[in-house]
Amino acid sequence: MQRNTLLIVMVAAGSAMCWWPKIIPPNLDLPGWKTPLILIALITSLGTALSDEGARWLMIASVLGGVAGIFCGFRLWWPTDAIDASLVPFGIGLSALTSIPVSVIAVGAGVALRESKIVTNNRRLIWCAFFTCFAFAPTVVALTPRLVILRK
């Protein structure tokens, strides 16, 4: 598999999974919109910096992955409270609209980072940061039930 294809798939999957720690009930009360949007920005910009070309495909993957992650997250973990459930369509729309400019700005930052000497000199460090950001959301989703029990 080519590196760019792998990065596109990983950016889409990472952008999808970064919303899940906020959606899963009960959650860890991570900072509202900051955590998923920061993860989307980091995954997209680092993926763009590591790719040789195809910034447009990475932006599309980030936007579509984020929207798909929001829909899948609420499909898997629908709120049990009726008031929370009534606000889900508003939350889906708002989170989808906020993830679009974040993805666009992150691709621009990734292209600027790609053209600098930082990526060429520290390629392994950038890969490590990319994998860390990619693994954050699945790790938090896997640990959430245990951490919620320990918090009580």
pLDDT in tens, the chain (152 residues): 587 888 999 999 999 988 888 888 777 676 777 888 999 999 999 999 998 888 899 999 999 999 999 899 888 888 888 887 888 888 888 888 998 999 999 999 999 988 888 888 888 999 999 999 999 888 888 887 777 777 76
Residue 43 confidence (pLDDT)? 94
Which residues have CB under 8 Å from 83's CB, separation 6+? none
pTM: 0.87
Residue 103 confidence (pLDDT)? 92
What totals of helices (H) and strands (E) does the chain contain, helices first? 8, 0
Closest of 11, 23, 46 to residue 125, by C-alpha: 46
Alpha helices in 54-122 (DSSP H): 55-76, 82-86, 88-115, 117-121
